Amino acid sequence: MIEKLVVIEEEPPSLTEEPPEPVPARLGDLPPRSAEIPSGIPAYSRPIQLKLVKPNAKHSARSRDYRLRFHPGVSQAEWDDWTWQIAHRITTLEQLGRVIHLSDGESRVFQDRKEGIPLSITPYYASLLDPFDPAQALRRTVVPSIYEYLLSPGEDQDPLSEEKDTVVPGLVHRYPDRVLFLVTYACSTYCRYCTRSRAVGDGVCDTGIGRWEQALAYIRDHSEVRDVLISGGDPLTLPDEALDWLLSRIAAIPHVEFIRIGTKVPAVLPQRITRSLIKVLRRYRPLFISIHATHPDEITPEMRQACGRLADAGIPLGSQTVLLAGVNDSVETMTKLFHGLLTMRVRPYYLYQCDPIPGSNHFRTSVAKGLEIIRGLRGHTTGYAVPTYVIDAPGGGGKIPLLPEYAMGYENGDLLLKNYEGKTFRYPDPGASEDRFIRC
């Protein structure tokens, strides 16, 4: 519950007005921040006293109309506060039915469901949903469906076998030089195709300081770890002080060279990218952020501002997109999404084949569809807009890249290549022979 609101009616200074803190030569040169263990872990667990500043923010017409219709007594300053958005998430059938017209199938799933991915949608993201069309792309990704309870062959609670490579609670060490640090299982908005559907939203298996300390000790003891990916759940749903505490301790480990954060916050809760958060994140460069982007309808003035603030702070941004049937499985949609991301200084990084979690068959396309999309991008737009298409191999095999067939083999010592137009070209490959047939 929010205890008190104090609105200060002045514009905040520009993000660029504050001189940046000195950046060390390497992360290991940074001492840990306060030794005091922060409160507020896991997220949303304590009363919040807010001091709101009149926002210097951009707003889409849809979010303004939604606020005025469904939250008429809420000021723009409250709407722009991320803790207000968290406190007013849609989590029940009754709340959802007030903002969208539920289809029979959507209503039935709430009557029949006993477990599964919880429902949680921020008011901001709810403003982007079509209230009348159950087939709308964004709506399908966050509103439960009866298809989630239809199990198909090959589906698994832990399709990537992360539990097998978990070395201490919340820390996955699969690749030689990097670890996956699951710092929370909470998200502001839950995607219906989440790889960690087995855990997200489950307070019983949520992480906390005790588990963080175990993971930090493991990283300190393994000098081969140079790259730490912080994920969850969504790490940016944690309070600033918790993130500062955690990042400072990772950054103080001498052999850790850089840190990455995986998040969907800029798309579903852009209000979270505050000046105070930016101040925390910029202390720990080199820091990279991978943004989960699904569809071009997510690219709003609010998301643009959030990404702009991160980019202006010197944080490289990449995107990770899951290929989803009926949501983004066309060249046209992906081109629009990736072009939009580039205009926000977000580089398309990975296009994922949807992981086979239980009840995901209605979301999963064929691999041929993914290759078709890559063919439709390569050569037809800038290379910066072409991500790497990967399957995160079931059973813990890691990310395996997939490409259309561009290398066709050898003929008379030349490598035969097919370009984006389907035309064949020759490349004189020194020392090559026809028995060295290569396919990509």
Q: What is the DSSP letter of 204?
A: G
Q: Is 392 an active-site residue?
A: yes
3: helix, strand or coil: strand
**Has 65 been annotated as catalytic?**
no
How many CA atoms within 13 Å lie on the side-chain side of 218?
A: 19
**N-term to C-term CA, the chain:** 55
CA 120 centroid distance within chain = 16
Query: Which one, of 399, 396, 435, 404, lies nearest residue 422 by Cα?
Result: 404
Of 129, 147, 131, which Cα lies nearest the Cα of 139? Answer: 129
Answer for the pair 197, 357: CB distance below 8 angstroms, yes or no. yes
Q: Is 354 a catalytic residue?
A: no
**194 catalytic, yes or no?**
yes
Catalytic residue among 44, 147, 149, 175: 175
List the catalytic residue out of 89, 139, 174, 283.
174
Give me the sheet containing 424-428, strands edge to edge: 407-411, 414-418, 424-428
Cα–Cα distance between 76 and 332 in angstroms, integer? 35
Out of 26, 108, 375, 399, the active site residue is: 399
Residue 196 is among the residues annotated as catalytic for this protein: yes
- Identify whether 355 is a catalytic site residue: yes
Could you confirm whether 112 is annotated as catalytic? no
- The residue from 193, 194, 249, 354 that is catalytic is 194
SS3 content of the chain, % helix, strand, coil (to 5): 30, 20, 50
Considering the candidates 125, 187, 198, 244, report the single residue annotated as catalytic: 187
175 is catalytic: yes
Q: How far apart are CA 27 and CA 248, in angstroms?
A: 9
Give the three-class secondary structure for 52: strand
Our answer to whether residue 174 is catalytic in this structure is yes
Please identify every residue annotated as catalytic. Answer: 174-175, 178, 187, 191, 194, 196, 355, 392, 399
